[in-house]
Chains A and B, each alone.
Chain A
Amino acid sequence: MFGILDKGVLRLGNSEIVIEDHGSSVLYRRIDLSANTTVQEMIISKNVELRLTPIYPVFYPRFVTQYMLCLLDKAITLAPGESVDVYASIPIDVAVYAYTPQSFRILDIVPLHSEAKYVLYGSIDSGIVARLCTTSIHISMPPTRLGYAISRLVIRNGIGKIVSVTRILLDASPLRLYYRPGTWEAYTQTIYMNIVSDTIAIISYGTPFVEGVEPIDDPDSLRPPRIYNRTEMLQGY
């Protein structure tokens, strides 16, 4: 479960985390069960607290981009001027954080979706590389499960014609992840998508829509400055 990681064995998808106590330190191992090999092994001193939290799926297999292109499993069609309020299950991975009272650091990323792929959003000259995420859309809030964060998605059609939305570009820097300790529940804040032209939509990031959840500590590569708390989809939605 998210929260403090105690010694013992924990299975996460195709991975198994083993933490062995060796007196003055602990031995951390992550085993890939599909290949039956240890893929990560490290010694951690005793006063470091290990914590499991959700993490954006942009760190596995390596950090290439902070953008995620979420392909919706069903298109959302909106009449002019109308808006819809739906929920989306966005794929996430799990991070193992090391905490001391003064600092924190990501020690390991446990991939929960082994088939990571990237796409180019836009053209070769001005597009951006984004992690491809298949996202399921729900009318009501779906049950939470390991490997997915629930997002509340408010889409507004601001133009005078019918539009269909099939994808959403999210930026992991302004996007926040929240978790409920002791469960596998993970959430984002409310995401607003405002369609402003035939090809342009503005994504903005609101506040959390569930209570009693804790935000994750963003890794260095995604830290602010969050000067513009929005993402512009300039090449179609």
Chain B
Amino acid sequence: MLIESILTSISSFFVHYYKYFEAALTIAIGIGVAYVFKKLLIRQFSRIMPMHIARIVTRIVYYTIIAVVILVAAGIVGVNLVGLLVAGSMTSIIIGFGLQPVLSNLFAGIFVISEKILTPGDLVEIDGDMGRVVEVSIMSTTIQRLDGVFVRFPNNKVFTSKILNYSKSPAIRLDFVVSIAYREDAEKAYRVIEQVVNAHPLVLKDPPPEIFVSNLGASGVDILVRVWVPTPVWYDVKRDLLWKIKKAISDAGIEIPFTQIDVWFRNSLRLEGLLCKNE
């Protein structure tokens, strides 16, 4: 009798608490599966994206699996999932609205890093600010402008802005306009400029420099000088070459004109009278 009653109470205990064991088992298996999945994902993602991004993405997937497993386990023990889902959905919407800027930066950051749009050291211009990329993190991108100031851009700003990346190309082209007076010998100016350009070691020989008259301006003849230079030294060459061209033009006695306006008066002016009044 005693044994029978013990067995009965044990079996009723199991019948009553079976769902809790099932839920616990589900959670245990779910956590195990999530853990294995996390390991597999990080191995795959680390091949195609930077490690810190791979970790974040894997963590998101891991906790999502855990959340689903907990919901399934809650259903097993009889928790009203409909109410929970409604409450959860409402909470998600509220949190989603609150975290919208953060999430948009996060996903923009994942895109910017995985697409390798910017890498540290690149010389870029973002939204009018030119400088070298210092850091591309999951939420923001920092550049150091050429004047030394650090500028931090939220990643969604980077994502939607026009970006000029000068470091993606091995060489970039510099254009200079040199204006000479109409009375000067344009061929002589051409030779002087060509000599300076060819003598500069950092101006690439190939693609060859181009020097040609680009415009007959209001005050002088505009000569356009186009040269290709190695990207890392473009600023130094720009600074150096324009000065050397200016100096060579001046040394050759070629006049660089300034803007001149001839004013014609319909009637002759009586300057003497004006001068006398002023005196």
Contact = CB atoms under 8 A, between A and B. Distances in A.
A132 B205 CA distance: 9
Interface in B204-236: 204-207, 228, 230, 232-233
A42 B12 CA distance: 95
A64 B169 contact: no
A117 B53 CA distance: 43
A61 B205 contact: no
Interface string B222-260: 000000101011000000000000000000000000000
B33 interface: no
Nearest to B170: A129
Nearest to A63: B232
A118 interface: yes
A166 to B, nearest CB: 13
A119 B227 CA distance: 12
The 3 closest A-B pairs by CB, nearest first: A119-B206, A116-B201, A129-B230
Contacts of A129: 170-171, 204, 230
Chain A interface, DSSP helix/strand/loop, else mixed: loop
A43 interface: no
5 contacts: A62-B233, A117-B201, A119-B206, A120-B170, A120-B207
Contact of A120 (B168, B201, B202, B228): B228
Interface string A85-117: 000000000000000000000000000000111
Contact of A127 (B170, B201, B203, B232): B170
Given A64-B232, A118-B202, 6 more contacts: A64-B230, A65-B230, A119-B206, A120-B228, A124-B207, A132-B205
B219 to A, nearest CB: 34
Interface residues of A, number: 16
Nearest to A65: B230
A115 B228 CA distance: 17
A64 B171 contact: no
A118 B201 contact: yes
Contacts of B203: 117
A128 B170 contact: yes
B169 A125 contact: yes
Nearest to B169: A124
Contacts of B206: 119-120
A146 B35 CA distance: 67
Contacts of B233: 62, 64
A118 B205 contact: yes
Contacts of B202: 61-62, 64, 118
